[in-house]
Structure 1
Amino acid sequence: MADLFMKHRCGYCQDDILGIRIRCNVCVDYELCLQCFSLGCEIGPHKNSHGYKLIDPGTFSIFPDQKRDDENGWISREDYQLLDAIEQFGYGNWEDVAKHVETRGSEESKEHYCERFVTGTIGKLTWQGLPNGQLASGESRLSAVDHTCPDNAPLSPSITSRLPPLAIEPEETLELGYMPQRDDFEREHDNDAEAIVSHLAINHDDEDIDLALKLAQVDMYTRRLRERARRKRVARDFQLVSLFFNAAKKEKEKPTTAAKKREFQKEKEIQEKFRSFSQFHTAPEHEQFLRNLTKERALRLRIRELIKYRRNGLTRHEECTEYERLRYFRERKKEARLDRQRRKSGSSGPGPNVQNPGTLHKSDNVREEVLHSSFRDAKVISFGSNNSNVLSVSSSQARPVPVPSANARLSQSEWQEAVANFLAKSDDLTLCPGSELLSPVEKQICQSLRLRPLYYTSLKANLILVSKICLIDTLLRLTPVNSNTEWN
C-alpha cells in the first residue's frame, strides 16, 4: 500500500508519472510512462524488447457497482486515505478527514463512508448476525464507537515511524534529558533549526521572489529535520546511548597499576583522535579499527626495543633478558650508592657538593644511558667535594666531565650533545672505551688524528684482513697450475 503514495518518475523523459506506468522485468527499478513506451524508447541497458508489466497506481475502483470512467467515483487511493484519516482523527471530524483525503470535501467524505462502509456491503456483512441492527452493548450500529488504537491498529502510520525504545536506567534518563512518554529529548540535535521558519508568514503583497525565498527556507528547515531524524534513527538502531553509558561505567573502573594507567590513557587518546571516523564505520568496524591502531602502536614500540638491543650487540632473546636483568641491578646499585652519599651528608645538612635528590632521581636514567654508551669501562666513584659540578672517574690523569647542577634542567638530547662535545674537544684518550688495548705508539697516532680507540681498532682489524686476502690472492696467481703445493 505504501507504493501507492510514492512519486514515480519516467526513466527516459524524467517526468512524473501520474497514471499507469510500465515497469521493465529485466532492468532493475526502471519505469516508463505510456508516451515513452509507445515510442519504443531505449536508454542505457534497457531495450524495447524487454518484458514489461503494467502498474496501476491506485486508479481502479474497489466497489464493483462503481464504473471506472465515472468522474465522481472514488478510486482505491482515495478510499485508503479516507480509512486512514478516520482512524487518525476519528468518526465525526470530517473537516480533518477531508484535508487528509485532499480530493474530496467533508460532506462527500461522510456520505461515501456511511454509504459504503457503514450501511453498505461491508456493514451488512459485518452486522448481519445481530437482531434489529443492535450491538451487543445495546448501542445502535449507526452510532460512532471509536475502536481505534494508534499503537496497535494495523493501519496506524505511527507503527512504521516508531523508534525502538531506549534500554537505559531512570537515572541515566534524567542525566540524558530524555522524556520517555514523549519519546523526545530536552535538547535535540540542531536545536535551533526551528528559528529559520519561526518568523515566516505569507503576505498578500509577496512577490514571486519572496515566495521562492520562503520556500527555500522551508526546504532548508525540512532538510535539517531529516538530518535530526536520521541521527536519532542511527542512535536507536545501534543503541548508541546504551553503549555510551556502558563505556562510561567501564571508564569508572580505572586500572590501579601505573603501567595499566599509562596504557589506558594512550588508548583513550587514540579513541579521541579518531573519533571523527566513527561516522563512516559501523560499531564493530570502528572497534576493530581502534584495535588495529593499538596493535600497530605496540608493534612499533617493540621494533624500537629490538633495534636498541641490536645496537648494543644483542641478537638473542636470552641475551636481552640478561641485559635487562643486569641493567636493573646496575640501576639499583647506583640508587643505593646515592642514598649512602645522602645519608653521610645528612647529619650536617646538605652541603654545596650534594645535589637535589629529586633531580638526581629524575635524571638518573639519562645519565646512566650516556655513561654506559660513552664510558663503558669507566667507573663512577663519587661527586667531588670541591666542585659540585664535576664527576670523577677511576683514572689519575682523567679530566673532569661536567655534570649539570641541581638547578639545571637539561633534556636527554642536550645532555648527550654536551658529553659528545666534551669528548670531541678532549685530548685525553683514557676516557674513551678501548684505550687500554692500544700501545703508546697507537695512542699517539689516535691523539694526532683525533680518532677514537674503538674506531682505530676496527680499522686496524679490517686492514689486516684485507692484507691477508690480497697476499693469498697473489700467491695463488704466482703458483703454477700443475703444482702439487698444499696451502694451510
Structure 2
Amino acid sequence: MERLASFSSDPFDKPPCRGCSSYLTEPYVKCAECGPPPFLLCLQCFTRGFEYKKHQSDHTYEIMTSDFPVLDPNWTAQEEMSLLEAVMDCGFGNWQDVANQMCTKSKEECEKHYMKHFINNPLFASTLLNLKQAEEAQQHETAIPFHSADDPPRPAFDSLLSRDMAGYMPARADFVEEFDNYAEWDLRDIDFVEDDSDILHALKIAVVDIYHSRLKERQRRKKIIRDHGLINLRKFQILERRYPKEVQDLYETMRRFARILGPVEHDKFIESHALEFELRREIKRLQEYRAAGITNFCSARTYDHLKKSRDEERLKRTMLSEVLQYIQDSSACQQWLSRQADIDSGLTPTVPVPSTTGRRSAPPLNLTGLPGTEKLNEKEKELCQMVRLVPGAYLEYKAALVNECNKQGGLRLAQARALIKIDVNKTRKIYDFLIREGYITKA
C-alpha cells in the first residue's frame, strides 16, 4: 500500500521535474542513487542526460508507473487508487457517482471489484478486525453513530424536520432552546456583598450549587443525544427499520434505558435480541419442515412454493363469501371484481372492498376563514377540502417535502411518510398531488 501511495493521480501531489520544473506525468524516472529527497526526472530530461550536482547520467534509475495489476489483472494500480479515492469522496454504496469519477469503469465493475477485493477479501479481514478491536478498546466510551463532524442535516428554521431535531443548530452544534432553559433566572438577582449575613451567604451558595446541578443535568442529556446519534433523526429511524416489527417494538421499549447502558452496550443488547428473534423464527421453520416429514432443503423449497400456492387458492375461495355480502350493491361488486382481477394477474390488490357498516364518508372541509387559505390555488383548495386538511398544515407539509426533494434530488413515498406524521392515506394523497403538479419528483 505504501508503494501504491507514491502513484498519485494528481501530478500536483508529486515534486516537479528537477530538469525542467514541469509537473510529472507517468511514466517518469527516479534516480536510485540520489536522495532523499527523491530525484525525479521527466522522460524528456532523462533522454537528454540531464545532470545536476551529485546526480550523473550514468546512475541507476527506476521507471515510476502505476500501469501494472495489483489485485486483479484487469485493474491497474492507478485504477485501484482512483477507486479508493472515489469511494472516500462519494461514500460507500454510491457506485454510480464512483463510476462517474473514475471514468474508466462501469458502476457494476466498481461495485463487484470493491466488494470482492476490499470487503470480502480474507487477506484484509483479519487486519480490519484487529484495527476495529483496537479502536473499540481505545474509544470504548465514545460516540459511534454521530459526531459533530458528521454534518447532520440542516433543515429550514421552524420546519417539521427542525422541530423533530429539537431546534438543533448544526452550525453551532447546539440547541436553540436548552433543557431547563430558564435555569439562569434564579441567579439574575444574586449578588455577593461583604455585609451579607452568614445565613444569607449560605443561602446564595446553595442556590449556586443547585444551578450547577441543573447545568450538569443539561450536559448529561446533551451527551446522551450525541453519543446515541439522536440528532440525525432520519438516520436513526432508518437504522431501526432494519429490524423486524417485533424487534422494533423492543427497540422502542428499551430506548429509555439507553442512557444507562451507553451507546455500544445498548446496540449490542438490541443486536443480541434481534439475533435471538431470527434464531427462534428459523427454529420454528425447521420444526415445521420436520413435522411435514422434510429432511433436506431441496424439498423445503418445494414445500414453501406449494404452501404459497395453497394460501393463494384459499384466499380466492374465501373471497366468494365476501362478494355475497355485496350482491345487492353494484358498486361494491365492481370493486370486488377489480380486486379479484388483480389477484388473478399476480398483482397486489389496490381496490379495497367497502365495509358493510354503512358508515358515511365525512363531508369536504369548509375552508372559509381558515388562515392560509388565500395562499392556496384552486387545486390546492380542492385537495385540502377532500383530505380535510387545514391550509396552514398543508403549506407546512408542502414546504417540508419540497425542501427534502431539493436536497435529495427526488423523494419516495416512504420518505414522505417519515417526514409527515399523519394518516398514511392523507400522506399518499398529498404526495401524489405534489408529484402531479410538478412540485416534487420521484426518486
TM-score (norm 2): 0.31
Which protein shows a greater Rg? Answer: 1
Point out which structure has higher relative CO (alpha carbons under 8 A, 6+ apart).
2
